[in-house]
Chain A
C-alpha cells in the first residue's frame, strides 16, 4: 500500500469533481432543495382547514344539546368551520362529493344517552388527508359528551413521551432518515457512474497497467468520495439542525433558512454514522458498476438497491411492523442501521456509550468492510 498512489487517486477524483459542476450541484444543492421542500410541506400541515357539519337524526332527549355543544366547541378549534345548513345524511354525502364539506358527524336515529355512538363520514378518496382534523374532533367529542350528557365523566388523555416532546412533528422524526438516506443515495450514484466511466472509458485498463493495487484504488476512491460525502453531510446536517431567520425586506416576506430540527444528541455522532454509511455506498457503487455497461444501467440499480432501502429501512414503517418475511431483509440493509442509529442519537440523545448506537455503528462498519472487499474483487486485471 503506497500512500503516494492512494493520494494520487484521491487528488484525481477531487480534480475531476471540481470540473463537473452538475455533479457538484447534485451532491450539494439537490439534497438541500429536497429537504427544504419536505420541511416546508411537513411544517405547514397543521394549518389544514376542515369544513364540518353535524347532523342529528335522533329524537332522544339530550341529542339536540349534544349537537349544539359539538358545533360551538368545534368552531373554537383552529382550522375548523361549521356548516349549519346541512339537514340530513344524503345532502351531506352530496356536499362531500361536491367538495363543500370535509367531515360530517352524524348522530344516528338510535342515538341516546345510553347509546352514545356517533358516525363519522368522509369522502374516502384520501384517508390520510381526510383524517387530518380527526384528533381535534375527537377531543371535542369527548368533552361535549362528557359534560352535556348525563353519563359518567370520561377520562381525558394527555400525551407524554420519554424522548423528545409529544408535540414532535413528522419533520422531527423524519429528519434523521432524510440525512442518512441522501448521503447514501447520492454517494452511490456518483461513485457508481464514476467507476463505470473508468471501466468503459479505458482508464481502468490503463490504471491496471500501472503498479497501483486494487486496494489502493478502492481506498483512493473511498477517500475521494468520502471527502465529498463528508462535506455533503456537514451541509445537510447544518441545514436540518440549524435555522437562520431572515427578516422581511420590501416585497420579500420573512423566511427561514434551515429547518431548525432539535437534536437531543451530539451531531458529531450522527455525522460519524452517516460517514460510515457513505463509505459503504462508495464500495457498493464500485461493486455494482461491474454489472452495468452504460450509465443508464447504473440508474436501473436505483429501484433494486435504493428504493427497497427506502421502503424497508424504517423510513415509513418501523421494522417490527413489517411482514415476518421482510424483517430479515430489512435487517441486512445498511440504511436500516443508519436510520436507527440516527434516531437514537438525534431523538433519544444517545451517545457512544449506548449499546444500540454501538451496534448500529458496528454493523455499518461491517457492511462497509464487506463491500470494500467485494469492490476490490471486481477490479480484476482481467477486465476484458
Chain B
C-alpha cells in the first residue's frame, strides 16, 4: 500500500503506447545502489543505466548479487542506500509493476493449480483478462496441450516455461528474467531467445541473469557482476577486446582478477583500459 510518486502512465494504458515517448530515457537505472544484509554487501554501490529496446545479460557466479540487484530494481527489496528507477519511476512503485515482467528464479507458481489457472490468475492481477492472448502466451511456451494439467505434475522445464508465460502475459515493457533457461532443453532455449529478440525488437528491455556464460553471445550487451559490484559492462565483442581474449569466460576472469582492466564500466569502452589489457 506504500505508493511512490504517481508513475507517468496509468496502469491500464496499453504497455507499448507508453514505451515510445520514453525511448530517450534509460529503461533501467541504478544510482549508487546498495543493499546490505548485516555485514554482507550483497549489492555494493552499483551505477547502471540501460537504454531501452535491448537484451542485457546479467552474468556472474552464484552469490554475486544478481538476484538481489533484480529484486532492488523490482522494488521487492528496499535499498540500504541509492536509488533504482524503472522507466523513469523510482522503485518501489506498485503501479509501475504493471509495466514490468518478472520471472523469479524459483518458479513461483501454485502447484495445485493447472497451467491455465496459474496463467489466468497472474494475468488477472495485471488486469490482463483477454482469453485469446492468454492462449497465445501458453502456445508460445508450448504448454497449450497441458493447459489443464496441475503444475505439480509438469516437468521442471515445463514449470519454467509456465513461469515465463506468467511473467510475459501482460506484455511488459521492462522484463527481468532470473535464470530463465535453467532446466529448459536446448531446442526450446533457442525458441526462448528468438522470442526475447522479438520482444526487444518491439521495444521491450530485457535483463536476463545467468551464471553460465554460454548465453552471453545471445545478449545485445553484458553486465558482469561479482561480489555486489559491476565488473564491466559492454557488448560481448567489446568486453573480449578489452580483456584481450576471444573467450567471454576468460574475459570475466580477467576482469575479476584485475578490476583495473575493466575500468570504464559504462557502456563506452574506456581507452585507458587498452594498455592494461595489453600488458597480458
Contacts and interface: CB of A to CB of B under 8 A. Distances in A.
Interface of A: 2, 4-5, 7-8, 11-12, 15-16, 19-20, 201-203, 205-215, 376, 381-384
Contacts of B109: 203, 206
Given A215-B1, A382-B78, 6 more contacts: A15-B113, A203-B110, A209-B74, A211-B126, A211-B127, A384-B76
Given A205-B76, A206-B104, A211 B125 contact: yes
B127 A4 contact: yes
18 contacts: A5-B125, A7-B124, A12-B113, A15-B117, A19-B113, A19-B150, A20-B112, A201-B110, A208-B76, A209-B100, A210-B122, A210-B126, A211-B11, A211-B98, A211-B125, A381-B76, A382-B78, A384-B37
Given A203-B109, A212-B125, A214-B1, A12 B117 contact: yes
Interface in B106-124: 106-113, 117, 121-122, 124
Interface of B: 1-2, 11, 37, 68, 71, 74-78, 92, 94-95, 97-98, 100, 102, 104, 106-113, 117, 121-122, 124-127, 129, 150, 166
A205 B124 contact: no
A206 B122 contact: yes
Contacts of B77: 381-382, 384
Nearest to A23: B112
A203 B108 contact: yes
A211 B117 contact: no
A376 B1 contact: yes
A214 B125 CA distance: 12
A127 B202 CA distance: 83
A2 B97 CA distance: 15
A202 B104 contact: yes
Contacts of B129: 4
Given A381-B76, A382-B76, A384-B71, A210 B104 contact: no
A209 B68 CA distance: 14
Contacts of B107: 202
Q: 6 closest Cβ contacts across the A-B interface?
A: A206-B108, A202-B106, A8-B124, A210-B125, A209-B102, A19-B112
Contacts of B166: 206
B168 to A, nearest CB: 13
B122 A213 contact: no
Contacts of B124: 4-5, 7-8
Nearest to B166: A206
Nearest to A209: B102
A259 to B, nearest CB: 34
Contact of A202 (B2, B37, B108): B108
Most buried by B among A7, A8, A20, A210: A210
B94 to A, nearest CB: 5
Most buried by A among B111, B122, B150: B122
Contacts of A383: 76
A2 B76 CA distance: 21
Contacts of A209: 74, 76, 97, 100, 102, 104
A32 B189 CA distance: 53
A211 B112 contact: no
Contacts of B106: 201-202, 205
Given A5-B124, A8-B121, A381-B78, A211 B71 contact: no
Nearest to B97: A211
Contacts of A203: 108-110
A20 B11 CA distance: 35
A16 B109 CA distance: 12
